[in-house]
Every structure is written in structure tokens, then in C-alpha cells.
Amino acid sequence: MKPELQPNKIVVLSGSGVSAESGLPTFRDSDGLWKTYSWQEVASPEGWKLRPEAVLDFYNERRLKAWQASPNAAHLAIASLEAAYEVVVITQNVDELHERAGSRNVIHVHGQLAYARGTSEARKRYRIDGSPITMGQLCEDGTQLRPDIVWFGEEVEFFEVARHHVATATRVLVVGTSLSVFPVASLVKVARGRAEKVLVAFEVEKRPYGYSFLQGKATEVLPGLAGRWLREAAEHTHA
């Protein structure tokens, strides 16, 4: 039996295209990070075993750049929806730009740069904000700290929680993602037939069934969309 739709709930599925407009490089675009770096070397358990220093250097640089970046108009538009709706942001991004824009309920399915964790089964996490992780920096259980990032070959986090949120949302907004990274891309199909479903992107190979497509930059499209949804909420309140 499908869960009940929650009439005041918006779920946002966001990807690296949103952060790109704050100056953070994407991973998969023509000028993305995987054109410069080998993900096998810096974003896999095997790469970590072979050259942990290189992995730490890669993520220390990502963390520094993320901390120097500022939320953009798209992040702020998403956060503004909380004035009238329950908003859940499910993001593939590992930066904190949604939180820094004011979003209070953010689910990071690919981990967070702001945290380090030990490498034992206990997976103890530590908030490090913009600080680097160095070799020899140990968890309290004696293991080397690593970025709290989901690498290739590791399971995404909070997936079932994310599925439930999408299945109960009356509005689903997909923004800044190529819909090519699975299993997260499959979440678009969980949205209900009665939900209003919107995809915001420059281009997409195949528009998911039932989604309206707003073409353009997230920073240019989202403020208008958020404004419309906020007006609709106000009209509903006064009806």
C-alpha cells in the first residue's frame, strides 16, 4: 500500500549543477573533475588503499573550495519555500550550501565534506567544517580518518528514507542533476502521479515521465518557480 501524500510537502532532488553556479566544479560535465582526475584513484576504496595521501589531498581541496563558495539564488529560492511548506532537500552534493542558504532538512545521499570518519566498522563521524584531514589524524578507535563521502563501490546513504519522502510529496522538484547517477536517479520514478513534478536543467537526455521541463540555469529559473509556489500557498491559506 502506498503512503499518503502530504499536501504541504515539497521534495527537492538536487545535483552538482546547483553548486556549479556557486563556482564549484561538477564531476561529470565536459570540464568536470573526472576529466582531470581518475575517480579510481581518488574516489574508490581501492584508491584509498593504494594512495590515501592523494585521496586526502583531493578532498581537502574540494572542502576548501566548498567553504570559500557562497550559496546562490537557487539555494536561496529552495530555502525560501520553508516559509510555507515542509521542504526536504535530497542532495547528491557534498557541500553545505543548502544548509548555509537556510534549508533545515537536507539529506546527503553521497556524504558530506564537512565530516571526517574513522575507517573501522564503527564509522564514527566528526564535524571538521573546512579543516583538512591529514595522514596520521586518527579516529578515537585508532583508525585513520577519511572523508565522510560515498565513494564508487560504496552504498549511498539514507536511500530508503529518501524514497519515502519522494513518495509522500505533493510537489517534486528535480534540479541540477544529469539523472545519470544511480540509484539516486531512480528516485524520480517514485514520485506519485498526482504530484506536481518539475525538472529544471540546461539539457536532459530523456525527460522523466510526468515531469514538466523548465530549461535554463537554476539561479534564473528557481526564484520564479519558488515565488509561484509561495503565492499558491498564500492563496490557499486565504481561500
Q: Would you list the DSSP string of 119-136?
A: SSTT--EEE-TT----TT
Neighbours of 207 (CB within 10 A): 13
Share of the chain above pLDDT 70, in %: 93
75, 98, 108, 110: the active-site residue: 110
CB neighbourhood size of 232 (10 A): 14
Examine the residue annotation and report whether 110 is marked as an active-site residue of this protein: yes
* Tens digit of each residue's pLDDT (9 = 90 or more) over 190-223: 999 999 999 999 887 788 899 999 999 999 999 9
Catalogue all structural domains in the chain, each as residue range(s) with its CATH number.
1-24+71-110+155-239 (3.40.50.1220), 25-68+116-149 (3.30.1600.10)
What pLDDT digit, counting tens, does each position of 18-45 carry? Answer: 999 999 976 555 455 545 667 678 889 9
User: What interhelical angle do 218-238 and 73-80 show, nearest 10?
Assistant: 10
Q: Is the pTM of this model over 0.85?
A: yes
Beta carbons within 8 Å of 48's beta carbon, 6+ residues apart = 55, 146, 151
pLDDT number for residue 206? 81
Rounded Cα distance between 113 and 132, Å, is 10
Question: CB atoms < 10 A from the CB of 152, how many?
Answer: 11
Place of cell 564549484: 24
